[in-house]
Amino acid sequence: MGTAQQRRGDSRSRTPRSSHFTEFISQGWAQRDEPLPDAAAVARFAARRRAKLSAALPDHLLLIPAGVTKVRSNDTDYRFRPHSAFTHLTGWGADAVPGAVLMIHRQDLDRDPVLFFRRPAGRDTDEFYADPAIGEFWNGPRPGLDAVSALLGIGTADLSDLAAAVAGIGTPIATLPGLDPDLDALIAEVQPERSTDVDAVLEQTTSEMRLVKDVWEQKQIRQAVAASKVGFDDVLSRFDEVVASPRGERIIEGAFWARARELGNDVGYDTIAAAGDHACYLHWTRNDGAVRDGDLVLIDAGVEADSLYTADVTRTLPVSGTFTPRQREVYEAVLEAADAGFAAAQPGARFREVHEAAIAVIARKVSEWGLLPVSLEQTLETEWQLHRRFMVHGTSHHLGLDVHDCAQARRDMYLDALLTPGMVFTIEPGLYFQADDLTIPEDLRGIGVRIEDDVLVTEDGVESLTAEFPRTVDEIERWVRTRRASIG
């Protein structure tokens, strides 16, 4: 990895490599004697997850890669984020390093899991000052094997030892391919005839293991939601500046991102800051438009905590602090659909029933407004569904390490599954009336509304994790006015 990144910049002036320079730069550094960290709270939860995965695939050697950095442009990489399965099984979040690999042995071998990653090089090596990918002089200190072992409660070894460890096992390997080319090449060399069918089973299993969140995971999502509320407050406090800018959507995006970086690792996904008719584009992330008083602005944003668990919240706000009558009518229809979704989200109900409850309200509303060429009864039939013109997306998705968590789970474990305490997911109906939709009244065109909350299934119902976010029309209007006034 370091060699590849060096090659990307070979035409530029490089760090000197003379023997005199190497001798000089390798001397005169203070000794670092840092105490080992205490075990992180996540360590015991991650250990249980590893044991569960091992029991699900008892006959295989499991190699779970963190992944590698991805090139953004030439020799500039995106900020590294480990694969969610790796983080879930190790507890190593934002501080995880590229190229790390978790090894979980076959159960009958009675060997503990091992986390392989590249140990820090000494300052008497040229890696220290000449490798822009991993050199300490470029990127700061790398974590040590003993420190990570103490923090995560898992055995560690240098990445250079992985090849020998894999070759010496002889057990069929299962991995998550495509994340780490070096690991893929090593596995192909060691087991060239292996069946790759089990890789899909591993991917599916690691995804399904996250369907029910343990108490540590729930705490992380709560923290991400709380940080997101601060981010939304920041955005509203800058609404005067937002309105004054020709690219006010960018100011919204930037203000939220700044708070996400302060209170967490990053945003959990690209922020949607969609003003006016941009709100009708479900994944509007260009965020280059103006934000005008009188318009609505749909903000879909979530902070990703250092643990890499994310929130996912949407609020649609009247920029001026007051909904117009038509905007209010649409907003309250979406709110009614969201409330129906909440009412359906009970332990023992099926996941798909949350969507069915919400979309039934959407269908009734657009039918009552005369927007459909068929009756309400007919549009609700499977072969019709004309009301979906105005809400083409689903109402809910699982939430956790990925904003759309557990995406590789089987249908019967996800869409058709019974709601179980510990599940965390969104409820997010919407109505979107495109500006050029000639089938609807002119005063509806360009209005887009979505309301999205994060919920936790409990033993006796659901808890709204986003309860601190204003939600009703009156609450939303008061929130906008108060935050704008607090700065102005």
Contacts of 271 (CB under 8 A, 6+ apart): 252, 253, 256, 257, 285, 287, 299, 300, 301
Report phi then psi at 61, rounded to 5.
Answer: -85, 120
Give me the numbers of helices (H) and strands (E) for the chain, helices first please: 17, 17
Q: What is the predicted pLDDT for the residue at 7?
A: 56
d(C-alpha 81, C-alpha 96), whole Å: 8
* Chain mean pLDDT for the chain: 94
- CB contact at 8 A, 253 and 322: no
Q: What is the predicted pLDDT for the residue at 2?
A: 44
CA 300 to each of CA 68, 280, 433, 444: distance values in angstroms, whole numbers, following the listed order: 28, 13, 18, 21
d(C-alpha 402, C-alpha 387), whole Å: 29
All residue ranges of the chain with pLDDT < 70 are: 1-13, 487-488
pTM: 0.95
Domains and CATH numbers, the chain: 2-8+31-208 (3.40.350.10), 215-487 (3.90.230.10)
Q: Where are the beta strands (DSSP E) in 34-100?
A: 61-65, 71-73, 76-77
* Residues, the chain: 488
Each residue of 393-437: pLDDT tens digit? 999 999 999 999 999 999 999 999 999 999 999 999 999 999 999
